[in-house]
Every structure is written in structure tokens, then in C-alpha cells.
Chain A
């Protein structure tokens, strides 16, 4: 008895064949003792399975179901159309997040606008009469600054530059650096120093030995020249004990006259 025939025996025993097919199959198995034995076995199996349908009474209650549902805090979810746009929004959201991260990182790495030496000819503190022959170096934010991630910004150690200028002035009191004609608030990087900046306008006297004081302002970058930060005035007169030029610290630049 092959598998296919056995399947037909099982179908017949369990009543899955139509009456015509059943009657025909019953005639076929009459002369086959193996098929008869299998048919008997399947029929007994069917009766036994039906007898298993009786089950003990359950003790399940509505209260138990209600507690189970309340315990999990469930609510029936309202019918909502399933959105198939997730595949579109997820990469868009990822790109937006990436750009946002880049912006934040660049913002954090970007140095604050560095000081720039400009000429403030309108500063009332240095307006002498109506001619205003002097110009004042002023710290102002550089609006055209562009961040280059490949260039490491130079550390802004302004005090060092100011000290160099002061030291040079003390060594050669006769040789006056043109930049000494300007108030240098917060100091200035020598590499970025423009000698033209701070020059007096045409017709006025060049900064020369007539300049007898040098104002060095060690205040931090970004401080306005008119603000009252500490200013060191270096005199041409030498100290008797040390031989260096005398230095006087003043609290405000409002009364400092540079360049005679």
C-alpha cells in the first residue's frame, strides 16, 4: 500500500470523499487486507479523536478579562490608514539630522569673530578740534570672516604682541615704530599688522620722535577703544634703577593722547 492509497484510505475513513467516490473506494479495499486493517485503524482513530472533544469546564470570567485588559492599559486602536511613506521620510529625516549636526559642529568649532584693527576717525576722544589728525585703532568684529576648516586659527595671544611692541620701544626710544602712533587695544598680531592702517592722513606729520608715549592696552579682544579698560602708558624717560622705560597704567583711555 503506497502513500497515495493510504491517504485515500484516511480520506474515506474520515468521510472526506464524496458518496460516489466512497462507494467506489469501498469496493476497491474489500479484497486488500492491508487496506482493510488501515481503514479500521483510521476509523477507530476518528472515533477516538471525536471523544476527545469533551473538555472540562473553564473558570474564566469577564472580570479576569477586564482586569487583564486594564492591567495592560490597552485601548482599541482606531482604524487608521497605514502609511506607506516611511521609506520616503526616513532618509529625509536622516539627511536633515546630518546637516543639523554638521551645522552645530561647525558653529562650535568656528572661532568668534576676531578683532580687526580699523581706523576710527570719528572717535570723539581723539577729535582735537575739527581736524582730527589722528586715527585710533579699534577692535571690531570682522564681518567677512569665513571659516576654513583646514586652517587652524592662530591663538589670539594679544598681550604677547603688545609686550613685543613695548619692549622694542624701550630698547630704541628714538626709533619709533609707526604702529606706536596708535592705541592698540587688546594688542595686535604682528603678522596681520598693516602699517598703512593708523597712518595719519596726508598733510599731517608722520609719527616720529615727537611721540613720547605709547599706549599698550592689554585688554581682551573685542573691547572698544573708547571703553575704560586698563591701559599702560610707556614713557620715554628711563627708570633710574632698571634702565627701562617707565610705564604707567591708567584706568581709562579717554584722556590718553597719542602721537602729540
Chain B
């Protein structure tokens, strides 16, 4: 039902009905924002990603194939955007660290937290968030998709552009990497 409706809205939007595209935006913005926030850990960055994702979706509506779910296609765009942004952030962080010779470590290591998140966060979340943010972006994205957003493996495979088996393998590797990072934190303060 949802698939049919999304497809119909996409067709209307292709024909120039911007209202149809706004309906798609209203329907899926929270999904996109949640994933973007998990990837960026900052609300303003996440909102920028949401904006860019929908702009790109609007620009490339002609490339959307109706056989896939619109949300899958949209999350694929968001994943690519977040991956690009994470790489740029890593480069920028490395440059800043190099320039400041470690003086800005307190700004760049660990999580750059949102004030709202500071109020809600407990030690467990902070520790886990630190470990998650320290993961490479390809591990981080699959952890978020599978263990936070709880997407099914076929859906993940479509988003990541791989097979279902490949998606399962990626999840296993990412979980193992997260466990290795979180183990020392658990030794200091138990989750």
C-alpha cells in the first residue's frame, strides 16, 4: 500500500507536482533524519544531510526505478551522503589536529554532543556512542541500519548495493569491530 502510494507520488512529482514531493518529504523525513543523526551525531549536520538528500532525490527522480521501495532508494542516497561527509570530517579533523599539535584534542576526539543529547545521556550511552563514532564509516553505517534502525537484511542489501549475504557479513564484521572498541570502556565502567 505504502509502496503504491510512494510510487504514485513520485510519478506526480516527476510531472512537476511539487506538492507530491512535499508529501514524500513529510512521510519520510523522520526516517532520513534519524539515520543522518546517528551517522553525524549532530542535529545541524543531520538536518543538512536531510536537506541535501531530498534535493538530490528531487533532482534524480527520473533515476528512481519503481521496483525498489522509495525509502530504500532514499536511504541509499543518505548513506552515500553520510559517507562523504564522514570522510570530509575525518580529513578536516586530521588537519586540525595536525595544525593544533594536539591542542584541540578535546574538540575532536570522542563525540561532539548535542545539548539535548547531553541532558538525556547516561554513561552507557556515552560510552557506546563514543565507540560507535570511532568506527570506520562503513562499519558504522551497517550497525546503524541493522542494530539501531533495525532494517531487514534484504533492505540493507538494497541500500548498500550488495547481496544479502554480503550485508550479513558486513554486519558481523562491524559488530566484532564495535565489540573490540567497547570492551576497554566496559572494563572501566560496566555498561
A79 at the interface (CB under 8 A from B): yes
Check B59 against A56 for contact (C-beta < 8 Å): no
Check A65 against B54 for contact (C-beta < 8 Å): yes
Check B50 against A60 for contact (C-beta < 8 Å): yes
Q: How far is the CB of B184 from chain A (nearest CB, A)?
A: 12
B124 at the interface (CB under 8 A from A): yes
Complex Cα spacing A62 to B125, Å: 32
Complex Cα spacing A64 to B30, Å: 15
B191 at the interface (CB under 8 A from A): yes
A76-118 CB mask vs B (1 if < 8 Å, else 0) is 1111100000000000000000000000000000000000000
Check B14 against A76 for contact (C-beta < 8 Å): yes
Complex Cα spacing A76 to B43, Å: 28
Check A55 against B37 for contact (C-beta < 8 Å): yes
Question: Which residues does chain A contribute within 8 Å of B43, judged by CB atoms?
Answer: 56, 58-59
Check A10 against B172 for contact (C-beta < 8 Å): yes
For chain B residues 116-169, which have a beta carbon within 8 Å of chain A?
A: 116-117, 120, 124-125, 127-129, 132, 143, 147-149, 168
- Give the residue of B25, B38, B175, B178 whose beta carbon is less than 8 angstroms from that of A55: B38
B68 at the interface (CB under 8 A from A): no
Check A76 against B116 for contact (C-beta < 8 Å): no
Q: A42-B175, A42-B179, A45-B178 are in contact. Are A58 and B61 (CB under 8 A)?
A: no
Q: How far is the CB of B10 from chain A (nearest CB, A)?
A: 9
Q: How far is the CB of A67 from chain B (nearest CB, A)?
A: 9
Taking Cβ atoms with an 8 Å cutoff, the residues of B that contact A are 13-14, 16, 18, 21-22, 25-26, 29-30, 33-34, 37-38, 43, 46-47, 50-51, 54-55, 58-62, 114, 116-117, 120, 124-125, 127-129, 132, 143, 147-149, 168, 172, 175-176, 178-179, 182-183, 186, 191
